[in-house]
Amino acid sequence: MRTARIIEDGAAYYHVMTRVVDRRRVFAETWLLEAVRRIMRAVEGFSGARILTYCIMGNHLHVLLHVPERQYVADDEFLRRLGLLYSNRIFLDNMAAQLATLRGGGLNAEAEALKEEYVYRMYSLPEFMKTLKQRISVFYNRKHRRKGTLWEERYKSILIEGSEGALSATAAYIDLNPVRAGIVKDPKDYRFCGYGEAVGGSKVARAGILVAFGEEGGWDEVGGRYRQLLYVIGEKKAGEGGKEASRAGFSGAAVEAVMEAKGRLSLPEILRCRVRYFTDGAILGSRIFVESAFRRHRGHFSAKREHGARAMKGGDWGDLFTARQLRLDVIGVPAAPA
């Protein structure tokens, strides 16, 4: 039986993740990764949502997304957004002409009905993901002369509190995916995650990360703080015998040993591992936020439950709680190098 997704009526933050069918590593070539990112940014612009950070891996995709309150979209803005998603100039010109004709004839209700055929897909997490997955599938199938589904049927989504603690921890978890997979040692060296794009100078990527930190300060300040969060993970301060300092992550054996000893990992240490709370926890944030969201979405949980917030196991999570008490494999060892 499927668990219904928790979707807020108004503005909210979500961590969403979707996998390729059979977990095949189809996104292996640079040009294809670039195309997926380009499509993702186009869908972002069309939808009115904002990507705080993301990571495109060989067989799955993570996005930390802010979906704002639904709002009225004026004609000029509507046409601009439509142009981000559709490249057919004739179609766009005809749409503009139809709107102008209807407005000129005082048929405002008809003009709004025409726009609504597309506007309903804006300011919506399900429509964002539907459009994103469809666009990537069509592009990939056309380039590889294939047919059929590209993605596993359902994407996962976690409701995230809009606080710096919850957003920055989730962002770091996402941007550390290529480090956990052994693709790079430094997330800045992976071009297809939000942090790597931001370090490369992308203004839109930097703007997203600034949102995760409350938009206080410029990139120099916030980028430095975020790098500290990413980089206090497993760094060797100095080599033995005066050798040059080296950087190495936690080995699978080391993490297993800590977990078997029931040791408590620090938050940076946890973020270096695969953590199911970020993909299966339903709601993540402070105790107050989780309890409030639990009450709003009471029907998603057992009638026997009296409270929503559950303490997170495996380490020192600070003020973060989840809505689901996961039992097995809460924290896994880093993946083997790809």
Q: What is the pLDDT of residue 263?
A: 54
Mean pLDDT of the chain: 85
Q: What is the pLDDT of residue 226?
A: 86
Q: What is the pLDDT of residue 58?
A: 92
Q: Report the residue count for the chain.
A: 338
Helix segments in the chain, DSSP class H: 30-47, 75-85, 89-104, 108-119, 125-144, 164-175, 177-180, 194-199, 203-212, 219-231, 252-260, 267-271, 277-280, 287-296
Half-sphere exposure of 179 (CA within 13 A, CB side): 28
The answer to whether the CB of 151 falls within 8 A of the CB of 274 is no
Q: What is the pLDDT of residue 308?
A: 86
Check residues 304 and 165 and name the one with the higher pLDDT. 165
| Rounded mean pLDDT, 47-58 | 96
The answer to whether the CB of 271 falls within 8 A of the CB of 195 is no
Q: What is the pLDDT of residue 193?
A: 95
- The confidence band for 228, taking pLDDT boundaries of 50, 70 and 90, is confident
What is the percent of the chain where pLDDT is above 70? 84
Instruction: Answer whether residue 1 shows pLDDT above 50.
Output: no
- CATH number belonging to domain 12-70+126-332: 3.30.70.1290
List Cβ neighbours of 124 (8 Å cut-off, separation of 6 or more): 47, 67, 70
Q: What is the pLDDT of residue 338?
A: 37
Check residues 4 and 88 and name the one with the higher pLDDT. 88
* CA separation for the pair 185, 172 (Å, rounded): 14
With 0-12 / 13-18 / 19 or more C-beta atoms within 10 angstroms meaning exposed / middle / buried, residue 179 is buried
Q: What is the pLDDT of residue 252?
A: 54
The answer to whether the CB of 48 falls within 8 A of the CB of 74 is no
Q: Where are the domains of the chain?
A: 12-70+126-332, 75-121
274-275/331-332 β-pairing:
antiparallel
**C-alpha torsion 35→11→17→158, nearest 10:** 170
* CA separation for the pair 207, 198 (Å, rounded): 8
Check residues 118 and 261 and name the one with the higher pLDDT. 118
Number of CB atoms found within 10 A of residue 174's CB? 23
Q: What is the pLDDT of residue 262?
A: 52
* CA separation for the pair 171, 256 (Å, rounded): 24
Check residues 129 and 261 and name the one with the higher pLDDT. 129
Which three-class secondary structure state does DSSP give residue 63?
A: strand
What is the percent of the chain where pLDDT is above 90? 54
Q: What is the pLDDT of residue 72?
A: 96
Q: What is the pLDDT of residue 245?
A: 39
- The confidence band for 42, taking pLDDT boundaries of 50, 70 and 90, is very high
Q: What is the pLDDT of residue 239?
A: 42
Q: What single letter denotes the amino acid at residue 227?
A: R
Q: Which of 116-125, 212-221, 236-245, 300-309 has the highest mean pLDDT?
A: 116-125
Q: What is the pLDDT of residue 231?
A: 66
The answer to whether the CB of 195 falls within 8 A of the CB of 53 is yes
Q: What is the pLDDT of residue 317?
A: 84
- Contacts of residues 245-254 at CB distance under 8 Å and 24 or more positions apart, as own/partner, are 247/185, 247/186, 249/179, 249/185, 249/334, 250/334, 251/334, 252/333, 252/334, 252/336
Check residues 266 and 87 and name the one with the higher pLDDT. 87
Model confidence over 134-154: pLDDT tens digits?
999 999 999 888 888 899 878
